[in-house]
Amino acid sequence: MQDPYLILCVPRDATDEVIHQAYLTAVHDYPAERDPQAFQAIRSAYETIRTQKLRLEYALFNTDPPTPEDLLQRLGRERRPRRPDLGLFRELLRSGAGETKS
């Protein structure tokens, strides 16, 4: 993959807004209908460095942009665990299953 900063013509210290504006300009100049390969390269470059976190990942690991499957896996790992179903716990207490007999 080519350097996304070169594709979007932005400096390495560019802000999110500057990168977004460069992306919009590039997409306007190279629409998907006219040049699909250039459009795909622009889109991929933007997805690689569109946020500060992604830019840090790119700088540290020089990784390709995450695939949708990778993003879904990340979301699955970052979600808070579900609360236990208290209805089952209440039924156990009502039925006396939690009581010990002496």
Instruction: Measure the CA dihedral 6/25/19/35, to 10°.
Output: -50
CB 49 within 8 A of CB 62: no
DSSP assignment letter at 66? P
Please state, in angstroms and rounded to a whole number, the distance separating the CA atoms of residues 45 and 3.
8
Average pLDDT over residues 25-30: 93
8 Å CB contact between 7 and 18: no
Would you state the pLDDT for residue 62? 73
If one compares 21 and 94, the residue with the highest pLDDT of the two is 21
Question: For residues 57 and 22, which has the higher predicted lDDT (pLDDT)?
Answer: 22
pLDDT at 16 over 80: yes
Asked if residue 24 has pLDDT above 90, the reply is yes
Measured in degrees and rounded to the nearest 5, phi and psi for residue 38 equal -65, -40
Q: Which domains does the chain have, with CATH numbers?
A: 1-67 (1.10.287.110)
* Confidence label for 96 from pLDDT (cuts 50, 70 and 90): low
pLDDT for 35-87, tens place per residue?
899 999 999 999 999 999 999 888 887 755 566 666 666 666 555 555 656 66
